[in-house]
Amino acid sequence: MKLTGAQILWESLVREGVTDVFGYPGGAILPAYDAMLAYPIRHVLVRHEQGATHMADGYARATGKVGVAIATSGPGATNMVTGIATAMMDSSAIVCITGQVGSKLIGSDAFQETDITGITLPITKHNYLVTSAEDVAPAVLEAFAVARGGRPGPVLVDITKDAQQGSSEVDWAAAEPHLSEAYDEALPGDGDARDAIELITAAERPLILAGHGVMLSGAERQIIELAERAQIPIAVTLLGLGGVPASHPLNLGMMGMHGEAWVNNAIQEADLLIALGMRFDDRVTGNLKTYAPTAKKIHVDIDRAELNKNVRVDVGIAKDLREALDEWLPLVKPGDRAAWLSRIDSLKGDSAVRDIQNLPDDGHLYAAHVINDIWRLTKGEALVVTDVGQHQMWEAQYYKHNRPRSLITSGGLGTMGFALPAAIGAKIACPGAEVWVIVGDGGFQMTCPELATVVQEHLDINIAIINNGFLGMVRQWQEFFYDKRYAATPIGGPNFAKLADAFGIAATTVTKRGEVAGAVEAARRLKRAALIDFQVEQEDSVYPMVPAGADLHKMIRRPSPIVETAAD
């Protein structure tokens, strides 16, 4: 039986197990939309195509499934670019379907024509331009295999209007994807399990650096087993939060620019770093010349191109992390590293207790109060989606994630406006989860029209705006490094509660610390979306901080009078 290209598209998606897509219709994708109604697909109408990509991204990160976004040609496709780049940087498996002008019009500067495969070439794992109905199924099925295979990432399939309208028989068996197996081959010079175990056994001050790859490969159990058996403490990256329970005694906390001081100091004193599914981003290493000067390094990453990219390693293993750890575990000898663990305890010293949340109520509302209360009241079990900036770092510091995939945030690209749409995707993927958006007043204003999507889809998500009237992180850099010249960082905004009200979302404004808990509880009780505008201290900063490019152990600490000391 012949199917149209549009039908083949949906049939392919259904065969891939897709149940939800995020999109926005338009001229060149109309045939696909017309065919969609006959398939068991929930289509979420977004308010901007960037939102569709972030939703697909949030959906993918919450579940490990592939997220799907769909848009028309031209501006619909170019609006997806930021979301695609975000997914690329954070290894998130999404497939973007775009309509394209008819194949005869390609190259003619036709209405709403844009070279989206050319534009997205460097920010996708791969992309396809499909110009005939018979090519639709092979391209779409291969797109899913590429998106979820190896290091996950975004794939774009651009389908011309005539390919959607044309008809073809489909041989589904022949359309099954076949990819080059070369990628999985070990290359000469690759390290193996024995090399790694040798270094681990010999190390006196080893440290595991756990990244996003722990969750992407499903190695949560293995990493704990390794740490417990060999008594190796663990530091996590921003995207690694939740991969190792925050409450685990060997989990030291987050590393890097706004990581815990003792974690950064431990990295600098370690004699072995075991980097698992992380990529030595400049935000976690600081100055590479002085990074972990006494440590040998083992690096396991499924993407060989990450090995020896930023940090030279002694053993580099290009492999799925869980497979690698499954090989290691039978060889790991029980270790006793009490001296090293107690050394790290002593590094904690006066910085171990973050007492900003325990300060007396003096009328000041700090973001830390808000996030700490949300953590306490949700018992640390919410699925939190954050944007980019100060609130994102405070969330990472004050919300203790014990479960994998319970924090979704834009790490690599640092995309403002990510949180609200990503949370919509996560909520649709996990309808039973308590979803909290924690977002700054700047980032929220970038994608707040998606509030209409929240309402139209009847989603029960809670939105906490950390509103300090500034583009806070940039303001902080201006305070520290540009002599407090606040160029273009003071940002006004609407009355967020009234804005939410206009969308039909319950909203409150909180200005005092004593009101935080009540507002959070009220939002949790409400069985529909709620927004809270937390008007916090305007010029608070995130501490500690490693200035960009500085040595990892040279951190700016919180000045008095708000001192982070155990004595407070």
Partner 1 sequence: MLHTFAVYVDNKPGVLNRVASLFRRRAFNIESLTVGHTETPGVSRMTVVVDTDEYGARRLEAHLYRLVPCRRVDNITTAPSISRDLALIKVAATGNARTHVMQLVDVYRARIVDVSPESLVIETTGTEDKIDSLVEVLRPYGVIEMVRTGRVAMARGTTPVRPIAPRVPPRAAPDVSGDVGNCSV
CA-wise closest residue to 93 among 51, 141, 155: 155
| Other beta carbons within 10 Å of 450 | 26
Among 113, 125, 161, 164, which one carries the catalytic annotation? 161
Q: Measured from the CB atom, is 314 or 434 closer to partner 1?
A: 434
Alpha helices in 217-260 (DSSP H): 220-230
Q: Measured from the CB atom, is 326 or 564 closer to partner 1?
A: 326
Shortest reach from residue 107's CB to partner 1, in Å: 12
Q: CA–CA distance from 344 to each of 161, 238, 245, 275, 285 (Å)?
A: 61, 20, 19, 18, 19
112 catalytic residue (yes or no): yes
- Assess contact for 124 and 93: CB atoms under 8 A: no
- Per CB under 8 A, residues contacting partner 1 are 62-65, 117-118, 121-122, 125-126, 129, 142, 145-146, 148-150, 152, 176-185, 187, 189, 215-218, 220-221, 303-305, 307-309, 312, 318, 320, 322, 381-383, 403-406, 429-430, 432-434
- Rounded to whole angstroms, the Cα distance separating 187 from 481 reads 45
| Other beta carbons within 10 Å of 247 | 10
Among 473, 496, 503, 555, which one carries the catalytic annotation? 473
- Assess contact for 259 and 253: CB atoms under 8 A: yes
- Rounded to whole angstroms, the Cα distance separating 13 from 191 reads 39
Among 104, 111, 198, 381, which one carries the catalytic annotation? 111
SS (H, E, C) 450-464: HHHHHHHCCCCEEEE
Q: Measured from the CB atom, is 153 or 286 closer to partner 1?
A: 153
Q: Measured from the CB atom, is 26 or 404 closer to partner 1?
A: 404
Q: CA–CA distance from 305 to each of 192, 298, 319 (Å)?
A: 17, 15, 12
Q: Measured from the CB atom, is 121 or 502 closer to partner 1?
A: 121
111 catalytic residue (yes or no): yes
Shortest reach from residue 63's CB to partner 1, in Å: 4
Q: Measured from the CB atom, is 68 or 203 closer to partner 1?
A: 68
Q: Measured from the CB atom, is 222 or 541 closer to partner 1?
A: 222
Rg (CA), the chain: 24
Shortest reach from residue 17's CB to partner 1, in Å: 12
Q: Measured from the CB atom, is 190 or 457 closer to partner 1?
A: 190
Sign of the CA dihedral running 418, 424, 430, 436: positive
Shortest reach from residue 351's CB to partner 1, in Å: 29
Shortest reach from residue 557's CB to partner 1, in Å: 33
100 catalytic residue (yes or no): no
| Other beta carbons within 10 Å of 42 | 11
Shortest reach from residue 137's CB to partner 1, in Å: 15
Q: CA–CA distance from 338 to each of 47, 208, 295, 535 (Å)?
A: 55, 16, 19, 45
Among 7, 16, 22, 49, which one carries the catalytic annotation? 49
CB neighbours of 461 closer than 8 A, spacing ≥ 6? 423, 424, 427, 435, 436, 437, 454, 529
Shortest reach from residue 381's CB to partner 1, in Å: 6
- Rounded to whole angstroms, the Cα distance separating 504 from 509 reads 16
- Assess contact for 439 and 386: CB atoms under 8 A: yes
Strand partners, 386: 409, 438
Q: 252: exposed, middle or buried (C-beta count within 10 Å: 0-12, 13-18, 19+)? A: buried
Shortest reach from residue 152's CB to partner 1, in Å: 8
Shortest reach from residue 405's CB to partner 1, in Å: 6
Dihedral, CA of residue 121, residue 416, residue 215 and residue 77, to nearest 10:
-30
Tokens 């495969």 map to which residue? 117
Q: Measured from the CB atom, is 213 or 442 closer to partner 1?
A: 213
Strand, coil or helix: what is 321? Answer: helix
CA-wise closest residue to 79 among 1, 26, 127: 26
Strand partners, 20: 42
Q: Characterize the bridge pairing of strands 3-4 and 167-168.
A: antiparallel
Name the residues annotated as catalytic.
49, 111-112, 161, 473
